[in-house]
Amino acid sequence: MLLKDKVAIVTGAKQGIGLGIAMALAKEGCNVVVSDLEQSGCESAVIEIEKLGVKALAVSCDVSQKDQVDHLVSETISKFGKLDILVNNAGIFPFKPFMDLSESDWDKVIDVNLKSVFLCSQASAKVMPDGGKIVNISSIASLVGFEGLTHYCASKGGVNGLTRTLALELASRKINVNAVAPGAIESPGATGAMTDEMKQGTIGAIPLKRFGVPEDIAQSVIFLASNNADYITGQVIVVDGGWTLR
Ligand SMILES: NC(=O)c1ccc[n+]([C@@H]2O[C@H](COP(=O)([O-])OP(=O)(O)OC[C@H]3O[C@@H](n4cnc5c(N)ncnc54)[C@H](O)[C@@H]3O)[C@@H](O)[C@H]2O)c1
């Protein structure tokens, strides 16, 4: 087990990629704080995670709100006495053409996808021991453009920049900060409302000819959260079935 007796927070963990990451961490022996907007969703995930033989804690938290983020970290310390790993996964990706975007559309996406990484990372780094790990879930939309997602692409580009600079600032404490950039991954938010035709169109753009699944992202997160990645920091690891190769 790579992460036995470690303690991790995963944001946006009631479903999709976040739930996949939380389950994979638990399979490696890691105790997990499951955080999402609503307590009931977190509690359902906790029941599943505890079946894997680790301890889990449900804490509702809107990651764009500083007081709620501070509460998330303090609850983690109250229950487990430490925090080793933070996975900044919560995110939203509402499609809207650039010319129709309102200021509040822009602010919402930047707050949930980018400001959250600042808030959660700062609150967590205050209590993390040397050797802690921060893994940010970015997107291939940080590297290439997607029509209808200007605000999202900007937010994820910001996550990559934050990742590199925070890695420099926390290097003296041996805290590694990296990002994973997923391609098209099956999740309620991403593929839940897609028609078969839309799915086939997307698969056509992926050299490995399938959607990714949360486990594909979770395995790269496990690696980056483990001591096997102690000498890797400030990197963005693309996990996209080859989408961005052409
Ligand atoms: N699925 C993909 O194809 C894909 C591709 C690239 C990047 N990503 C990124 O992966 C992450 C997870 O995406 P997913 O596909 O699992 O999406 P999803 O919509 O299925 O799950 C996202 C979770 O985040 C939670 N969330 C939303 N706003 C929140 C907030 N303010 N505070 C706390 N939690 C909040 C939601 O309740 C939900 O449980 C996101 O950061 C997304 O940008 C996903």
Per-residue pLDDT at 1: 95
Q: Which residues are catalytic?
A: 152
What pLDDT digit, counting tens, does each position of 119-135 carry? 999 999 999 999 999 99
Look at residue 99 and tell me if it is in a domain: yes
The CA distance from 225 to 4, in Å, is 12
CATH number at residue 86: 3.40.50.720
Let me know if residue 73 belongs to a domain: yes
- Over the range 149-163, which residues count as b (16 or more CB within 10 Å of their CB) and which as e? bbbbbbbbbbbbebb
Give the chain's mean pLDDT: 98
CA-CA distance, 117 to 179, in Å (whole number)?
11
Residue of 143, 154, 147 lying closest to 95 (CA atoms)? 147
CA of 53 to the centre of ligand 1 (A): 26
Q: Which domain holds residue 139?
A: 7-240
194-216: pLDDT as tens digits: 999 999 999 999 999 999 999 99
Ligand 1 neighbours, Cβ below 6 Å, are 11-12, 14-18, 36-37, 61-64, 89-93, 112, 137, 139, 182, 184-185, 187-190
Q: Return the pLDDT at 158.
A: 99
pLDDT tens digits along 145-192: 999 999 999 999 999 999 999 999 999 999 999 999 999 999 999 999
The total domain count for the chain is: 1
Q: Is residue 2 part of a domain?
A: no
- pLDDT tens readout for residues 7-41: 999 999 999 999 999 999 999 999 999 999 999 99
Q: 245 in a domain, yes or no?
A: no
Kindly state whether residue 199 falls inside one of the protein's structural domains: yes
Q: Which pLDDT score is estimated for 2? A: 98
Distance of CA 241 to the CA centre of its chain: 18
At 217 the pLDDT is 98
Assess if residue 131 is contained within a domain. yes
Going from the Cα of 100 to the center of ligand 1, the distance in angstroms, rounded, reads: 23
The confidence score (pLDDT) of residue 11 equals 99
